Structure 1
């Protein structure tokens, strides 16, 4: 069996029973179940959700995206071996730890296979919440150009690249295009302040102003739980992105939960602590792949400049990366997943066939 066969690149063509279009993102595809199947599974499996809650099958892939493009390798390699299973395993681990620490639930109800989550529909809070413990990446680039105000927070003078910040910084941005919010441009992923959120809480889908405090608590405590666990493993949790939403449980109580993924190499920067003490940065996250791309192509501005998206898309489409590049990324993802979870990530021989068999036999979702 070739390496390319062990990669799940296309994940929106599974024969899962659905009466809605499959939503395919950069990495995951979402299949909304029929009302009848949702109700049946809630009853059969005893999920703690409202009896009429819409459920979905979320299937991860091994695709790799960076700079808003999907990349591929030589030899028909359309993704990174082991990446999907590694991402899910890491998220599952942190979500479990959050619950154990009394933080909040996630949107995941069941994990039938390393590539699959059964999730409940949540009403998303329209904020990408970034927590930063070190100044690096885009924040450092802005700081170097003289910017000191980040999302309404004044950052002191005299900081150096990759330095630990005086305190954990929350720098939220919009999730999607939000219209009609004073002082917030109607574009995706634009930085916002806490004042913007407070004055327009309903526009961001918060139920009430008190939930803004709760969301910040979940952000900081979630960050600290992951950070202290990574510290035990000789890793530094540099920064990360959290997403939240509202769901209703079986008793009819509405609650704020974590959604999407948490603390993964896709949504976070993770550095090796021993190397950092020696003045070196060793990335155990997708940032390593981004840097690799910036060094690989002669004109890195194409990757950094949002006005050159057409050229960037062509770059990703027309250039098969060397296989060893994607295998290096595979080593980073599976390595950090095994370190965090203490379990081996095994490559599936035919992930699609396994998924179909499980969803047919154990969940009755495939005819």
Structure 2
């Protein structure tokens, strides 16, 4: 069996019994279960959720996206071998550590397969929060152009690129379109301040104003936990994205929980500690892949100029990247997962067949 056969690229056509259309994102696909299957699994497995909670099967792919496009490699590599399993393993590790430390639970109730989660439906908070401990990336580019205020926070003069900040910065943006709120454009991914959120907490789908404090505490505590553990591996946790929602627990109470993924090379920047101390930034995250793309093409402006989106889509569709680059990225994901979890990452020989067999035999979810 070739390496390409071990890559799960198409994950939205599995014969999982569902009563709603499959929701397919850039990386994950979600299959919502019907009420009877949800209730059956909750009772059979004693999941810590309300008895009538809605569940879904979430299948992660090995696809890789960057600059709003999906990229493929030579030799039939339609994704990064092991990437999906690495992301799931890393998120599982951090979600479990959060729960162990009394922070909050996540939407995951079961992990039947390295590429599969069973999750509880949650009501998402309309915020995507980036926690930043270093000034780099888009924040540095804006700072270098003279901007000093970010999401209501004013940065001091004299900062240098990739410098560690004195305090952790929380820079939220809208997740989806927020309508009817003065001063906030009706667009996705608009930067907002804490005062914007506090004054309009219901528009952002917080149940209570006090939950904003809870959300910020979960952000800072979660970041601190990951950062401390990564430092033990001599890795620098630079910045990361968090998402939250509300879900009912087994007592029928709504609680604020972590959602999506956390602390992964896709949602975070991670730097090698020894290299940073020598004055060199070595990426251990998807930023490595983004930098490769910028250096690979003769006209990198296509990748960053939103006025050239059609050219960018065509570039990704028609160009196959060198296999050695895809495998180098695979090594980054695998090494990061193994370093964090302390366990070897195993590649499935035939992930699609494995998932279908398991969901049929153990969970009776295949028609």
Query: What TM-score, normalized by structure 2, do the two folds share?
Result: 0.99
Q: Offset of 1:48 from its aligned partner? A: 1.5
What SS class does the counterpart of residue 202 from structure 1 fall into?
Answer: coil
Structure 1's consecutive aligned runs of 4 or more residues displaced over 4 angstroms after TM superposition are: none
What SS class does the counterpart of residue 317 from structure 1 fall into?
Answer: helix
Instruction: Tell me the equivalent position of 2:230.
Output: 230
What SS class does the counterpart of residue 181 from structure 2 fall into?
Answer: coil
Instruction: Tell me the equivalent position of 1:243.
Output: 243
Instruction: Tell me the equivalent position of 1:49.
Output: 49
Is the counterpart of residue 59 in structure 1 residue 59 in structure 2? yes
Q: Deviations over 1:258-291 (max 9, x none)?
A: 0000000000000000000001111110000000
Instruction: Tell me the equivalent position of 1:213.
Output: 213
Instruction: Tell me the equivalent position of 2:95.
Output: 95
Q: Offset of 1:312 from its aligned partner? A: 1.1
Q: Offset of 1:182 from its aligned partner? A: 1.0
- The aligned runs of 1:294-305 (5 Å cut-off) are 294-305=294-305
Q: Distance in 1 between matches of 2:221 and 2:251?
A: 26
Q: Deviations over 1:95-133 (max 9, x none)?
A: 010011110000000000000000000000000000000
What SS class does the counterpart of residue 94 from structure 2 fall into?
Answer: helix
Q: Offset of 1:316 from its aligned partner? A: 0.7
Q: Distance in 2 between matches of 1:261 and 1:203?
A: 24
Q: Offset of 1:187 from its aligned partner? A: 1.1
Is the counterpart of residue 129 in structure 1 residue 129 in structure 2? yes
Instruction: Tell me the equivalent position of 2:113.
Output: 113
Unaligned runs of 5+ in 1: none
Q: Offset of 1:307 from its aligned partner? A: 2.1
- The aligned runs of 1:286-365 (5 Å cut-off) are 286-365=286-365
Q: Distance in 1 between matches of 2:131 and 2:146?
A: 21
What SS class does the counterpart of residue 274 from structure 1 fall into?
Answer: helix
Is the counterpart of residue 255 in structure 1 residue 255 in structure 2? yes
What SS class does the counterpart of residue 250 from structure 2 fall into?
Answer: coil
Unaligned runs of 5+ in 2: none
Q: Distance in 2 between matches of 1:169 and 1:307?
A: 30
Query: What TM-score, normalized by structure 1, do the two folds share?
Result: 0.99
Return 295-304 or 124-133, whichever deviates more.
295-304
Q: Distance in 1 between matches of 2:288 and 2:216?
A: 29
Q: Distance in 2 between matches of 1:137 and 1:317?
A: 26
